[in-house]
Amino acid sequence: MTITAAADGSALGNPGPAGWAWYVNDNCWHAGGWPHGTNNQGELMAVLDLFRSTAHLADEELHILCDSQYVINSVTKWMPGWKRKGWKKSDGKPVLNVDLLKDIDRALVGRKYRFEWVRGHAGHELNEAADDRARGAAVAYQQGVAVRQGPGFVRPGTPAAPQAAPSQSTEPATATPVAFDEPTLFGDPDGYAEPDLFSELAEQTAAAATAQEPEQIVEALERELLQPETRADLGRTGVLLHPEFTEIGSSGRLWTRDEVMMALEENPGPHAALETLAADRIGPDAVLLTYRSRTRAGTVLRSSLWVLDGHQWRLRFHQGTAEA
């Protein structure tokens, strides 16, 4: 038997009140959170709790639906290298969220599992259900009320046991909060040779998007994405970036989507101001934004091609050139 479940996380403010959840069906799901955490920590905790909740079914394959490229790459690609280096990144600095990653690494032993990336906020039934519950947990911590924790893992066909009245405690229901690592920043003028990718604008609603012109939406996204705290959130980056995203950096290097995400996990860069040069609609579902970004190190001329993918504007291509 294969157990198929969606896992998702949410953070209001990122960092801020945070929640996580995994979902199989309405009789089989679990949620929790912390008073303060990040989106990535919520995503990781959802996966960890799913492994823990199904530990008694180690002979069955776990099919995990996840909209976070950060989580998928961390578990399936990057973690072995981090372990060999003593849980250090390539620059020798500690890996972010290392406590959660170590717990996941232990939970994987003896398990059969596979991850599948699904597009977030795109109507996928299981993903939407997990997202709703993760956000609900984050809101509960924000408001200081009890979290709806769910019935936990219940075999299909088994009636869910009635839940006891939840405690009004605001303490996390499942895990001790982990230490929150601060992102590193580019600290030298040669930072322009690094990738210029950004992360997703915090939780833009469809109603707000509908009320704005595409050029306004894209410019607002670009301004928000120049902030280092959003650039460092690779889980959210995976939602915003087009699956075929590429970038030509100011050094002339061609960056792939995964390369950029991995580089930004290590170095999100400084905050930059934006001076718009032009925002041109080049088709019904495409906007080309050209602008000048300013940091203490100097100015860079940039162009970003945004495309409408369903209801979500996503970054398809980016290029930056240091200004003389």
Q: Using CA of residue 104, residue 107, residue 109, residue 110, what is the dihedral sign?
A: negative
Cross-strand pairs, 289? 279, 304
Contact predicate 320/250, CB 8 Å: yes
Cβ(131)–Cβ(10) under 8 Å? yes
265 classed as catalytic: no
SS3 at position 211: coil
The reply to whether 285 belongs to the active site is no
Q: How many helices (H) and strands (E) does the chain have?
A: 10, 11
- Locate tokens 């061609």: which residue? 254
Residues in the chain: 324
Q: Which is the catalytic residue, given 131, 196, 219, 233?
A: 131
User: C-alpha angle 82/114/308, rounded to 5°?
Assistant: 90
Q: Is 320 a catalytic residue?
A: no
β-pairing verdict for 286-295 and 298-309: antiparallel
Residue 67 annotated in active site: yes
Q: What 3-state DSSP class applies to 3? A: strand
List 30, 42, 43, 265, catalytic entry: 43
Angle (nearest 5°) at CA 313 between 310 and 318 = 130
**What Rg, from alpha-carbon coordinates, does the chain have?**
20
The catalytic residue among 49, 67, 194, 222 is 67
User: Which is catalytic among the residues 36, 121, 242, 271?
Assistant: 121
Would you please indicate which residues are annotated as catalytic (active-site) residues? 8-9, 43, 67, 121, 131
